[in-house]
């Protein structure tokens, strides 16, 4: 679709029009600049779009619009709305853009996208814009009444220019990779929730530590915002958080995927409930917050070597994720008060030390150097010991509540030691040294059985397992026809041969 700039009172080129509005030439009060639009597919004319000349002039000259929210007169944003609907822009900002730039009257590269301007300038307490393409926040936002501002997919905006125009902002979220500075944020003295990073889902931010690409390094201005209760700066280039000790109201902190080398500052945050310092690589010493309200502790993929005292003293701690470190020993976790989920995978643990919690359900220890199964809490329903050095199934007599057991990728030679695990629904024994299917007949609740990558030569011992839905016998020595016939005769939903 093409859009043509028309002037009902005088005839001149687009560039002359730009010069006119740039110089502030007075237009008659009855003047309305119209854009005649034609649908290029149907070739039918669309309704003319009328533009308030003052707003149009402001946009052409400054690349921004100070929009009087609530005005009923024909205005710039009528054009914006139509442009979004039909995917086109007026000739003065499209066909003549090169000419205008050459003359120096129009800086398109720093101009806010039309649709973003429309959304940010409307009166609303909540603004959320996906794929924000603006180079700056428009001045018109000062009249919008916004208290929550979410700009996602930012790829042009390098600074927070004009953010001081919304001093009453309470929540600010900016995702993308272009922001270099947070100067000006110190003016948002009422800010309670702040998230700046490359692209995490703000509803699940505390768990998201797999993003990268942010550019923020200096956060000293943020450390003046003493009213903050949630701070998400994951996925940036931050190495220094000096001053965070002054943010006593913080309840949630995400500093994952940065360049931190210390956690000592966490001791100064008395109200902390959720902490994520995963993927910093430079952290070697774990520091456990003293906050009695802490519920979630994530320090994955660092270089931590030891679990210090402190976990046992936290009455509300539910989730502990410290996988991907250099921890050699499970210690100081023998009296957890409330923990439900503990993940110490991919460390250098050789022995399963005592882990105790009356609520513990998920225990994940995959990818260590464990040789023997022991000290499994009786409350556990999910146990992962995959990718260790276990040779024998044992130590599960008290694990009567187990629903899911992962023992794949070990050195197990015989199926045994499962007499008390009658609730098992999933059993993974793939990639071991098992030669015979046996000792499974009592597992009447079993639905998923994984025995792939074992030197098993025939199927037997599965006749009593009436609830089987998935059986994996890939890369075994079992004849493919025998495998398929078993699956068909038992009506196994997913039979892998």
At residue 82, does pLDDT exceed 50? no
- Per-residue pLDDT band at 214 (split at 50, 70, 90): low
Pairing of strands 2-6, 49-51: unpaired
- C-alpha distance from residue 127 to each of 59, 192, 194 (Å): 21, 16, 15
Residue 406 has which token pair? Answer: 């992962």
Q: Which strands, in side-by-side order, build the sheet including 49-51?
A: 2-6, 33-38, 49-51
Residue 108 has which token pair? Answer: 């398109």
Q: What is the mean pLDDT of residues 253-268?
A: 95
Selected residue with higher pLDDT from 382 and 12: 382
Q: Give residue 263's Cα distance to chain centre.
A: 22
Lowest mean pLDDT among 97-111, 240-254, 303-317, 395-409: 97-111
- Per-residue pLDDT band at 141 (split at 50, 70, 90): confident
pLDDT in tens, 402-448: 999 999 999 999 999 999 999 999 999 999 999 999 999 999 999 99
Lowest mean pLDDT among 87-101, 264-278, 283-297, 406-420: 87-101
Selected residue with higher pLDDT from 234 and 214: 234
Q: What is the mean pLDDT of residues 255-279?
A: 95
Selected residue with higher pLDDT from 488 and 202: 488
At residue 208, does pLDDT exceed 70? no
- Direct distance between the N- and C-terminal alpha carbons of the chain, in angstroms, rounded to an integer: 57
Residue 464 has which token pair? Answer: 């009593």
> Beta-carbon neighbour count of residue 246 at 10 Å?
14
What pLDDT, on a 0 to 100 scale, did the predictor assign at position 492?
85
What pLDDT, on a 0 to 100 scale, did the predictor assign at position 199?
60
- Per-residue pLDDT band at 339 (split at 50, 70, 90): very high
Lowest mean pLDDT among 79-93, 140-154, 193-207, 369-383: 79-93
- Per-residue pLDDT band at 158 (split at 50, 70, 90): confident
265 three-state secondary structure: helix
Q: What is the mean pLDDT of residues 390-407?
A: 96
Q: What is the mean pLDDT of residues 13-36?
A: 33
User: Which letter, b or e, does each residue of 312-336 get, where b requires 16 or more Cβ atoms within 10 Å of its Cβ?
Assistant: bebeebbbbbbbbbebbebebbeeb
Q: What is the mean pLDDT of residues 216-226?
A: 95
- Per-residue pLDDT band at 302 (split at 50, 70, 90): very high
pLDDT in tens, 123-134: 778 877 777 777
CB 400 within 8 A of CB 419: no
What pLDDT, on a 0 to 100 scale, did the predictor assign at position 351?
96
The DSSP bridge partners found for residue 151 are: 129, 174
Selected residue with higher pLDDT from 123 and 488: 488
Give dist(CA 26, CA 53) in Å, integer.
Answer: 10
- Half-sphere exposure of 118 toward its Cβ, with a 13 Å CA cutoff? 14
Question: Chain-wide mean pLDDT for the chain?
Answer: 78
DSSP state of 3: E
Q: What is the mean pLDDT of residues 298-310?
A: 96
Q: Phi and psi at residue 420, in whole multiples of 5°?
A: -100, 0
Give dist(CA 298, CA 209) in Å, integer.
Answer: 10
Tokens 């959304």 correspond to 119
Selected residue with higher pLDDT from 21 and 295: 295
Selected residue with higher pLDDT from 196 and 19: 196
What pLDDT, on a 0 to 100 scale, did the predictor assign at position 122?
65
Selected residue with higher pLDDT from 489 and 414: 414
Q: What is the mean pLDDT of residues 157-178?
A: 89
Q: Give residue 105's Cα distance to chain centre.
A: 41
Tokens 């929550």 correspond to 148
At residue 37, does pLDDT exceed 50? no
What pLDDT, on a 0 to 100 scale, did the predictor assign at position 144?
76
E strands within 30-139?
33-38, 49-51, 126-129
At residue 304, does pLDDT exceed 70? yes
Give dist(CA 324, CA 405) in Å, integer.
Answer: 21
Selected residue with higher pLDDT from 214 and 119: 214
Lowest mean pLDDT among 3-7, 88-92, 114-118, 430-434: 3-7
Give dist(CA 394, CA 387) in Å, integer.
Answer: 16
Give dist(CA 496, CA 480) in Å, integer.
Answer: 9
Q: What is the mean pLDDT of residues 95-114?
A: 35
At residue 372, does pLDDT exceed 80? yes
DSSP string for 455-492: ---S--S-TT-TT--EEE-TTSSS-HHHHHHHHHHTT-
- Per-residue pLDDT band at 1 (split at 50, 70, 90): very low
């Amino acid at each position: 679709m093409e859009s043509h700039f028309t002037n009902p009172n005088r005839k001149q080129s687009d560039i002359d029009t730009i010069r006119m509005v740039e110089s502030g030439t007075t237009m008659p009060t009855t003047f309305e600049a119209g854009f005649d639009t034609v649908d290029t597919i149907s070739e039918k004319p669309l309704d003319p779009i009328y533009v308030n000349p003052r707003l149009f002039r402001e946009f052409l000259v400054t690349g921004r619009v100070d929009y009087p929210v609530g005005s009923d007169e024909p205005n710039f944003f009528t054009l914006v709305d139509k442009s979004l609907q039909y995917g086109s822009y007026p000739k003065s900002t499209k066909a003549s853009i090169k000419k205008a730039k050459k003359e120096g009257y129009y800086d398109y590269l720093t101009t806010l996208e039309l649709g973003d301007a429309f959304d940010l300038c409307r009166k609303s307490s909540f603004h959320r814009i996906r794929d924000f393409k603006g180079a700056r926040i428009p001045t018109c936002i000062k009249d919008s009444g916004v208290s929550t501002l979410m700009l996602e997919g930012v790829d042009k905006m390098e600074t927070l220019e004009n953010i001081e125009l919304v001093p009453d902002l309470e929540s600010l979220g900016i995702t993308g990779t272009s922001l270099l500075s947070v100067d000006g944020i110190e003016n948002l003295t009422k800010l309670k929730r702040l998230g700046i990073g490359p692209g995490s889902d703000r509803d699940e931010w505390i768990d998201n530590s797999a993003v990268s690409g942010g550019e923020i390094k200096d956060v000293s201005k943020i450390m003046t915002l003493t009213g903050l209760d949630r701070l998400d700066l994951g996925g940036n280039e931050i190495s220094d958080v000096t001053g965070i000790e002054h943010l006593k109201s913080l309840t949630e902190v995400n500093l994952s995927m940065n360049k931190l080398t210390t956690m000592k500052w966490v001791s100064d945050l008395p109200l902390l409930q959720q902490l994520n310092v995963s993927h910093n690589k430079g952290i070697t010493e774990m520091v456990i917050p003293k906050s009695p309200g802490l519920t979630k502790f994530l320090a994955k993929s660092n270089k931590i070597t030891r679990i210090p005292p402190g976990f046992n003293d936290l009455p509300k701690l539910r989730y502990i994720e410290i996988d991907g470190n250099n921890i050699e020993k499970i210690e100081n976790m023998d009296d957890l008060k409330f923990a439900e989920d503990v993940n110490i995978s991919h460390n250098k643990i050789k022995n399963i030390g005592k882990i105790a919690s009356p609520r513990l359900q998920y225990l994940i220890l995959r990818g260590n150097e464990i040789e023997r199964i022991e000290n499994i809490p009786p409350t556990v329903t999910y146990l992962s010991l995959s990718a260790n050095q276990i040779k024998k199934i044992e130590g599960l007599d008290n694990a009567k509540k187990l629903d899911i057991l992962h023992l794949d990728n070990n050195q197990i030679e015989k199926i045994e030691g499962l007499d008390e695990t009658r609730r098992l629904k999933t059993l993974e024994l793939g990639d071991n040294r098992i030669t015979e299917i046996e000792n499974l007949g009592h597992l009447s609740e079993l639905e998923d059985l994984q025995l792939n990558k074992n030197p098993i030569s025939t199927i037997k011992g599965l006749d009593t397992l009436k609830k089987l839905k998935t059986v994996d016998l890939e890369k075994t020595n079992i004849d493919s026809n025998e495998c398929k016939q078993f699956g068909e005769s038992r009506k196994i939903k997913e039979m892998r041969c």
